[in-house]
Amino acid sequence: MRLDEIRAIIDNSSSDDWHKAAKATTIFIPDIDISLDWNETINPNFTEPWHNCLHDPSASSVSVVLRHNGAPVDRWTFVVVDGGRYMMPLPAPSASGGYELPASIIPIGNLIFDLYHPGGASNNLSALLNKCSISVV
């Protein structure tokens, strides 16, 4: 299987397609050779101004790893924010002085957000991005 095929599977899946095998490991139910994990903490005391909009300003950054047959094939940096309530992709500073995320990361961002903490219609990645004034470009 090619990497772009695995990424397409991820982008078109929902949290219902995944089995939570451990606290920070999920397995794709239709093909158990594909898994995601976020076991590796990058920075336990992550701080940037954009997440000060949340009730609890404590945050940490983690590495989300896509695996195929147990081998890492892709990796993204995510941030666990609001005292551990949510996990979202790490935004980058924008030229205008704010923060932004590329549209290409939104599908995996939505999936990880839901796998980490299912929130329902009003508690989702889009609502969190709006609350923190993060643009999608």
**pLDDT tens string 51-61:** 988 999 899 99
**What is the span of the domain harbouring residue 79?**
3-136
Reported as a pLDDT band with limits 50, 70 and 90, residue 119 is: low
Domain total of the chain: 1
pLDDT in tens, 69-81: 999 999 999 999 9
Alpha-carbon gap, residue 49 to 99, rounded angstroms: 10
The residues with which 80 forms a beta bridge, in sequence order, are 60, 87
Higher pLDDT, 99 or 57: 99
Spatial separation of the C-alpha atoms in residues 65 and 98, rounded to whole Å = 27
pTM for the predicted model, two decimal places: 0.93
pLDDT value of position 68: 97
